[in-house]
Structure 1
Amino acid sequence: MTTTTITVPLVAAIEEAWAAIQDRHEDVPEVVVTLASGNGRGGMAYGHFAASRWARGDALVHELLVGGEGLQRGGRAVLGTLIHEAAHAAAEARGIKDTSRQGRFHNTRFKAIGEEFGLTLTKDPSIGWSITDVPDATADSYRHAIDALDAAIVAYRLTDIGAVSKKTNSGVVAVCECGRKLRVSRSTFEVGPIVCGVCNAEFEAEDDEG
């Protein structure tokens, strides 16, 4: 009896694409691939890199989450997500702080690594240099990985109704590295980084009102 499975070839294609990225960028680490919903309080996430979330014996391994809703975009866009997360992984390996605001705002250090990895990045006013495109030259160099992803993506996750929260103007409590706190509206906080004049660090959201 022949059994058709969705998950096994999909994860294999993602791992193959990640290995292709590692071949080109030696500081991209090993990851555990997970498939899950990309829905969250901050909106829809196509992928996420989380450092040291898995244990293998005494060693820690990083996690790569691929959002199931984003699979409907096709192999080239999914590859863009993987390279985007690989840039975060490389920043972790290099000891570079490439995001702020609890990992949501992508700064110019992330932009530099993403472009080094072959991405075209556009700035979003709320989350920074995060909008990701794969230019033709990069797509050509990853053609085999893109074709494998396209062949493996035979299903995608439907978006949960009402799961993606709408932006509001509720307040944000932000804290800097020296412990100073301020309270601002969400719209003000999302315009751009707020820098402490004492420690020169960006204020990051600590809690949300409402």
Structure 2
Amino acid sequence: MSTTPPVLAAELAHAWAEIQRHHPELPDLAAPEALIGESSSACGAELSFERLLHEGVHGIAAARGIRDTSRAGRYHNRRFLAIAEEMGLEHSDEPHPSSGFSLVTLTPETRKRYRPAIERLQRALKAHTAATTADTGRSFRGPAARHGSSGGGVRVKAVCDCGRNVRVVPSVLAQAPIVCGGCGKPFRIPEVEPAAVA
């Protein structure tokens, strides 16, 4: 089994710690691997340093008790934007009709400040992508993935070797492994015995 997911989780944790160095009130990232394969159109589906800073804005908002989104987390309001600007992100003047100020980007100064961490994370993401796209076609692709959905659907139980379990949409798990913080092994959907064919 590839060791890339734990390496990527470690790089995510390193990048988060680097952000915390500049923003000490940012809470710890409890499960870096939870970001791997997690898809949210409002927050950005692509995993990147920019996305980590975006998630950091939500973390600081939570620490301050600020409601930074509405519409089930899709619309990012001006309170989100104010914290994003503190963290070195910027947004065009006009909010998006459905997601508000969610599409924030790194300022040139922020990109320069975090350059080493950005480059480390990019290398880990590139290795992770190479490892997970070398798919033999044998891995389970849930119904949402087969029908072109972006990840909505029924959650099922995924387990790891130490016995912990999580509820996850199969297509999200199929995008990339989610690694257990306890044992370091990936969560998997238990195989169901196929029904006998008459």
| TM-score bin, normalised by smaller chain | 0.5 to 0.7
Residue matched to 1:28: 26
Residue matched to 1:164: 150
Matched, 1:12 2:15: no
The runs of 5 or more residues in structure 2 that have no matched partner are: 134-143, 152-198
Q: How far apart, in 1, do the equivalents of 2:111 and 2:60 lie?
A: 20
TM-score by length of 1: 0.57
Matched, 1:149 2:126: no
Sequence identity (%):
37
Residue matched to 1:82: 52
Task: String of CA shifts for 1:167-200, please: whole Å, max 9, x gaps.
Answer: xxxxxxxxxxxxxxxxxxxxxxxxxxxxxxxxxx
Q: SS of the residue aligned with 2:101?
A: strand
Residue 120 of structure 1: how far off its partner (Å): 1.3
Cα pair 1:99 1:107 within 8 Å, conserved: yes
Structure 1 residues 150, 118: CA separation in 2 closer, same or farther (over 3 Å shift)? same
Q: What residue identity is the alignment partner of 1:14? A: L
How many aligned residue pairs are there? 133
Q: How far apart, in 2, do the equivalents of 1:37 and 1:25 lie?
A: 26
Structure 1 residues 36, 138: CA separation in 2 closer, same or farther (over 3 Å shift)? closer
Q: What residue identity is the alignment partner of 1:149? A: L
Residue 44 of structure 1: how far off its partner (Å): 7.1
Structure 1 residues 4, 39: CA separation in 2 closer, same or farther (over 3 Å shift)? closer
Q: SS of the residue aligned with 1:96?
A: coil
Q: What residue identity is the alignment partner of 1:95? A: G
Q: What residue identity is the alignment partner of 2:8? A: L
**Which of 57, 76, 81 in structure 2 is aligned with 1:111?**
81
Residue 30 of structure 1: how far off its partner (Å): 0.8
Q: What residue identity is the alignment partner of 1:139? A: R
Residue 164 of structure 1: how far off its partner (Å): 2.5
Over aligned residue pairs, what C-alpha RMSD do you find?
2.4
Cα pair 1:38 1:44 within 8 Å, conserved: no
Q: How far apart, in 1, do the equivalents of 2:49 and 2:36 lie?
A: 17
